[in-house]
A and B are shown apart, each in its own frame.
Chain A
Amino acid sequence: MLRFLAKRLLMMIPLLIGITLISFVVIHLAPGEPTDMQTDLNPDASVELQERLRAQYGLDQPLYVQYGQWLGRLSRLDFGESFSLDHRPVMEKIRERLPITIIINLLSIILILAVAIPIGILSATRRNSLFDRATTVFVFIGFAMPSFWLALLLMDYGGVRLGLFPIAGIRSLGHEYLSFSARIWDLVHHLILPVFVSAFGGLAGFSRYMRSNMLEVVRQDYILTARAKGLSERVVIYRHALRNALLPVITLLGLSVPGLIGGSVIFETIFAIPGMGKLFYDGVMMRDYPLIMGVLVIGAILTLVGNLLADISYAMADPRIRRS
């Protein structure tokens, strides 16, 4: 097992370098440079300034030199300095935005699982019942509804008209004057709408997946055996079928690990949440290469780690895989 792990980890290194190389080349292929964005169409900026800025950022070097420099810095765990006007370390900018993004994504995944798994099981066991049809309609409404629209409706009715929720942001204005528990409540209160909106759209995928897994499993011979033994339907479903139906969910969870740091730019913009989605989007629009690369590298590492974790936990949960 240990050898297997070490091998997998070693294999991740060339993979990671390959990913960064491709990303680096692709983002530099996009037309426009950060210096253009800072000086263009500004009557006060001279062409000479643009040349100087390019030299300061090292953009006048050939691409492979730039990549080499970037890789050298990365090996010292330095993502470099942002090319945007604030010239701050990329690490610092990402660190500022990471916690809130992870919190929202984590809560949203938990909410999705807590709602989608039961829906999936029940619709599978009561296939074609009224419940099955109603939930199908419900989860597909969530899937089809544009999240920005739902968000705005909830903000207007839940926030402005009924006054139940704060409209946007993650903290109230007087947050720093509150007691510790009141601060936690303030944060939770602000997160209810965003988490609900981001989870609502994800229900369909997970619950349908769960439903079809369950249907698949229920047809298996060992379920027939269990029923033939005279076990109660409850035991058949929740002990024998459910466990097997849950296995593929592990893979899905592993795949959603990189999603933890990603955010939707539309969603963050509407709720005024300072998250990773907006940071990355603005970085791309401004051609802030170090920032883009920083976010991509973290995303790539999490994807690889997520896959590894999924494989390991799969092996632990399913003896058939362990033995083969």
Chain B
Amino acid sequence: MIRKSVSVLLVLLMMVLLLSGCQPDEGFVPESDADAKPAYGDTFIEASIGEPSNLLPILATDSASSEINGLVYNGLVRYDKNLKLEGELAESWDISPDNLTITFHLRKGVKWHDGAPFTSADVMFTYRLYIDPDTPTAYAESYKQVKHAEAPDDYTFRVTYDKPYAPALGSWAMRILPKHLLDGVPITKSPLSRHPIGTGPFVFTEWQSGEKVVVEANPDYFEGRPFLKRVVYRVIPDQTTQFLLLRNGDLDYMDLSPIQYQTQTDTLAFERRFNKYRYLAFSYTYLGYNLERPLFKDRRVRQALSYAINKQEIIEGVLLGLGQAATGPYKPDTWVYNPNVKRYPYDPDKARALLAEAGWHDSDGDGILDKDGRPLQFTIITNQGNDLRIKTGEIMQQRFREVGVSVKLRVIEWAAFLKDFIHAGNFDACILGWAGGPEPDQYNIWHSSKTGTRELNFIHFRNAEVDRLLEEGRRTFDQEKRKKIYDRFQEILAEEQPYTFLYVAESLPVVARRLHGIEPAPAGITHNFIRWYVPEEEQKYAR
């Protein structure tokens, strides 16, 4: 008996091993065309790598929470599909001629999901909560710039600043919280962190820890009821599992990895069932030099290293071509991006020449440049868990070696990486990335006042002109004038090369084909999520 079952198992195992060579056998779903009519109903299932931490937007910093909060809550303003600010809970706003006061005129008749009316008191309450020292929020900085806030009537909210502050308007995209449910309770103890109540297009229904969060359409939403009846966020921590679920029809949306995008989804069968999208993400990866180290104080060395790196090779090798070379801290398709800055095409000869100019020669013939008896070598550190960065480091290591620079690569667990290396200033160079947004203010990353412990200018970049430009950029509202300021800022960064800006990766979302109404735009695809629909004959979930 046992012998039999064992041999059955063995055969099964062999089958599994043999089958791995076979062709995929995808199911076929009939395709319908553009004449599809919008209809209400159906469930949309997404996957999230991480479990949301907290559904009170003031406390949460993770992307899973923020995605769900984006459906449940609203801000006063938001970025539209072209990354311009438009009113959400605020119908309109006025900015005083001296740029110091913003008056928001709020939408009337908006109701919280529990039926209570939304008024300026909620906005006032949310603002006070953000600046309350007892609130452990990471987002207080922008609101501390406010000198005075008032709510003259139920539908007007006015803030006054000490100095003109250009990021101010965008900062009011923060999600407004219900005063009547949060007043008088310590924010960290509020039940709303597990059961949010907002004004947004979807109403929270349930959260099963570690499994899923479910929200349902808000029939009374002020911009109209969303077409999709229900949205389910499943917590699927592994991207490969997500992909299997997607292929099985258990998911309607996920973000693909470059390898999945290029080599696992290019079949006809897959394309019949899914639409793939690609657009540049609001983030970039860089090689940052610790400017406190004598080696990197010399600009020629930094420039030489930039010439020695083949960015295109990294994009091909690491992102499989799904990205663009970065030239500065801004995304290439935004208004603030300056394409006319000094570029560093791959040029090993120029790299060698610059290094020679800086006094580095290979005097002992070991293939490594040296100066005053010391070889040209340094260590690049990066954090564990990000394969793209590690591969990037390996590719650069090879290229550096070719121009006579010896580089070690060290991968360190995130917490230790920050504490013992980045914040301690204990590194030569690091591979890291910044995520940004439509707001171009880069004060916290590049201003010389932000070089303290645990602050973000940890490479200790100090440049008087950049300081002045960053201060001016914050105080200027006019977009054309701002562009001039930030154009110059980008020119200096390109010339100085405190970072070698490496690449901007692409977001690679894939959506089930039965979803219609998707409009790719500079802001991505989810900007009109409440207008996504499934035509009646294609709806999959009846309840």
Contacts and interface: CB of A to CB of B under 8 A. Distances in A.
A167 B241 contact: yes
Which residue, A33, A39, A96, A173, has most C-beta atoms of chain B within 10 A?
A173
B244 A167 contact: yes
Interface stretch (B57-65, B76-84, B112-120, B358-366): B57-65
Contact of B419 (A36, A38, A168, A272): A36
A281 to B, nearest CB: 10
Contacts of A144: none
Interface string B13-33: 100110110001100000000
Interface stretch (A44-52, A59-67, A245-253): A44-52
Contacts, number: 168
Contact of B415 (A36, A97, A271): A36
Contacts of A38: 61, 136, 138
Contacts of B504: none
A11 interface: no
Interface in B99-139: 133, 136-139
Interface in A145-194: 152-157, 159-161, 163, 167-171, 173-174, 177
A9 interface: no
A152 B240 contact: yes
Contacts of A78: none
B445 interface: yes
Interface in A294-311: none
A205 interface: no
B61 A42 contact: yes
B374 interface: no
B310 interface: no
A160 B419 contact: no
A43 B10 contact: no
Given A159-B244, A168-B245, A270 B138 contact: no
Interface stretch (B34-42, B450-458, B468-476, B526-534): B450-458
Given A42-B61, A169-B211, A278 B140 contact: no
A47 B189 CA distance: 24
A31 interface: yes
Nearest to A156: B244
Interface stretch (A84-92, A216-224, A230-238, A254-262): A84-92
Interface stretch (B1-9, B295-303, B312-320): B1-9
Contacts of A37: 414-415
B411 to A, nearest CB: 15
A53 B240 contact: no
A201 interface: no
B416 A161 contact: no
B401 interface: no
B237 A33 contact: no
A26 interface: no
B247 interface: yes
A47 B453 contact: yes
B244 to A, nearest CB: 5
A122 interface: yes
Interface stretch (B228-236, B335-343, B391-399): B228-236
B248 interface: yes
B211 A171 contact: yes
Nearest to B245: A167
Contacts of A40: 418, 423, 454
Contacts of A20: none
A272 B234 contact: yes
A43 B414 contact: no
A313 interface: no
Contacts of B244: 152, 155-156, 159-160, 167-168
A33 B10 contact: no
B262 interface: no
A119 B9 CA distance: 13
Interface string A119-141: 10010000000010011001001
A157 B15 CA distance: 10
Given A87-B193, A269-B238, A30 B415 contact: yes
B455 A167 contact: no
A274 B20 contact: no
A274 B235 contact: yes
Interface in B438-463: 444-445, 452-456
A161 B238 contact: no
B415 A31 contact: yes
Interface residues of A, number: 66
Contact of B452 (A42, A47, A156, A271): A47
Which residue, B2, B62, B209, B241, has most C-beta atoms of chain A within 10 A?
B241
B147 to A, nearest CB: 18
A209 to B, nearest CB: 17
B53 interface: yes
B513 to A, nearest CB: 18
Which residue, B54, B136, B139, has most C-beta atoms of chain A within 10 A?
B136
Nearest to B49: A269
A32 interface: yes
A30 B19 CA distance: 45
A285 interface: yes
B61 A138 contact: no
Nearest to B416: A31
B142 interface: yes
B121 to A, nearest CB: 25
B2 A39 contact: no
Contact of B456 (A43, A167, A177): A43
Contact of B414 (A33, A153, A154, A285): A285
Nearest to A114: B2
A110 B120 CA distance: 61
B250 interface: yes
B520 interface: no
A1 interface: no
A268 B415 CA distance: 23
Contact of B16 (A33, A53, A154): A154
A43 B444 contact: yes
A287 B417 CA distance: 13
Given A85-B60, A96-B209, A134-B6, A169 B234 contact: yes
B2 A122 contact: yes
A119 B138 contact: no
B9 A138 contact: yes
Interface string B132-172: 01001111111000000000000000000000000000000
Given A38-B138, A42-B138, 11 more contacts: A32-B414, A32-B415, A32-B419, A45-B138, A49-B136, A49-B140, A138-B13, A152-B244, A156-B244, A173-B541, A270-B240
30 contacts: A30-B415, A31-B415, A36-B419, A41-B432, A43-B445, A44-B138, A47-B454, A50-B454, A53-B136, A56-B136, A84-B53, A87-B54, A87-B189, A118-B2, A119-B2, A153-B16, A153-B20, A154-B16, A161-B24, A167-B250, A169-B211, A173-B250, A177-B543, A269-B241, A270-B240, A272-B241, A274-B209, A274-B235, A285-B415, A287-B415
Interface of A: 30-33, 36-47, 49-50, 52-53, 56, 84-88, 93, 96-97, 118-119, 122, 131, 134-135, 138, 141, 152-157, 159-161, 163, 167-171, 173-174, 177, 268-275, 278, 285, 287
